[in-house]
Amino acid sequence: MDDDETIRELLRYRFEREGYEIEVFVDGMEATNALVEGDVDPDLIIVDVMMPRLDGKRLLRRIRAGDAGVDSDTPVIMLTSRGREEDVLGGFDSGADDYMTKPFSPAELVARVRRHLNE
């Protein structure tokens, strides 16, 4: 999930090229609705901190609390332009399994996804 269309399309292209099935959402509320309604059942979630309508930290807290219609232990990688130490620590405090800052290497992100999925 990312509010930047270029990043969403880059992620879609890269992960589909790697053989992953990917769902992309414009904002946290759209993602939450899809999760709660059972439209998606992700093995892993990549989320931006700064999204409209529902930011990534709030979405992550809902996931960890079991209020988002998905297993609360689903791995979550935060992908964000916020890279100060307090931002990273705040991401981990919200329940993130991993944290990457933009600009990022798509190859590194794929490697991190593989690691979290034990592939």
Q: 2, 103 in Cβ contact below 8 A? A: no
Give residue 108's pLDDT: 96
Could you please state the CATH topology (level 3) that the domain comprising 5-116 is classified under: Rossmann fold (3.40.50)
Each of the 119 residues of the chain gets a pLDDT tens digit; together they read 656 788 889 999 999 999 999 998 888 888 989 999 988 999 999 999 888 788 888 899 999 999 998 999 999 999 988 889 999 999 999 999 999 999 999 999 999 999 999 98
Give residue 3's pLDDT: 61
pTM for the model: 0.91
Domain ranges of the chain: 5-116
Beta bridge partners of 76: 45
Give residue 7's pLDDT: 86
C-beta pairs of 11-15 under 8 Å, 24+ apart in sequence: 11/46, 11/106, 11/109, 14/106, 14/109, 14/110, 15/110, 15/113
> Count of CB atoms within 10 A of residue 98's CB?
18
